[in-house]
Amino acid sequence: MARYEVSPERCDEAVEAFLGAAKDITGMDGFGSGYLLVNSETGETMTVVFWDSQAAAEASATHAATARRRAVSAVDGEVASVQTFDVIREFGNS
C-alpha cells in the first residue's frame, strides 16, 4: 500500500499517471490485482497492490518504486508512505 500527496486540482492527471504506471506493474510475474483510490477533495491518493506471494512482492519492489516515483512526479506530488501488509483474511465476497 502506498499513499501519495497530490494537489486536488491535479487529481485527474494523477489518475492518468498512475494508470500508466499500473500497466508496467500488472505485467510482472506474481501480480494479483491492484486498486487506485483517490480523494478528489483532498488530493490524497493511494495504491493497493496484491501479489501472489511474498517472493513476488519482494521481486517487484524496485520496479514498483520506480513506477511509483514516475507517476507521482508527473503531477508534482509526493510519496507520503509505503507499507507492506500480510493479507490475513478476505471478507465480503462470500
Residue 46 belongs to what H/E stretch?
strand 44-51
Q: H or E stretch including 48?
A: strand 44-51
Residue-wise pLDDT tens digits, 28-50: 999 999 999 999 999 999 999 99
**Average pLDDT in the 87-93 region?**
86
Q: Residue 94 — pLDDT band, cuts 50, 70, 90?
A: low
Supply the CATH classification number for the domain 2-82.
3.30.70.100
Rg of the chain over CA atoms, in angstroms?
A: 13
What is the distance between the alpha carbons of residues 45 and 6, in angstroms, rounded to a whole number? 7
Query: To the nearest whole number, what is the mean pLDDT of the chain?
Result: 93
Other beta carbons within 10 angstroms of residue 32's beta carbon come to 13
Q: How confident is the model at residue 90 (pLDDT cuts 50, 70, 90)?
A: confident
